[in-house]
Copies of this chain bind each other. A is one copy, B any other.
Amino acid sequence: MNRALPREGLVEAGAYFYPVRVYYEDTDAAGLVYYANYLKFAERARTEMLRRLGIEQEKLREETGTVFVVRRCTIEFFMPARLDDDLVVATRLAHLGGASLELDQEVRREDAVLVGLSLAIAALGRSGRPQRLPAALRAAILSLNNTTNRMAHAR
């Protein structure tokens, strides 16, 4: 499916899909993608998802002082990715709180889920303290899909 994915990814069925090609820089001497690099793929996908939803993080920071900070991340490694693999990162909203959100991400190769990530992200204001998510941001994130909760329950 990723053959059809544009550089900037796409939103579909309550999730955001972002394509990642594996290059030498991503691999290690075991011939596989180095374990820390899945976090890079996941962060690229989150950045492009926000951009796709109309949110430029730098602009958001300048205008409202809001920055996003990862508080906790759980990664499960099911199968390794390899050089030249054409991967897809699927991202969906797991929970939206007042000053925080939780995302589930999967790194996939065709129909196989290689790596699963679960992230707790806090919104901080200029003071460094938790800050309520701006309404426009909240609406944008929720627009990701109104079927999100149903999907999460169905897992």
Contact = CB atoms under 8 A, between A and B. Distances in A.
Contacts of A134: none
Given A72-B77, A74-B74, A35 B39 contact: yes
Contacts of A82: 29
A63 to B, nearest CB: 15
Nearest to A27: B29
A19 B7 CA distance: 9
A73 interface: yes
A70 B74 contact: no
Interface string A55-68: 01010000000010
A114 to B, nearest CB: 13
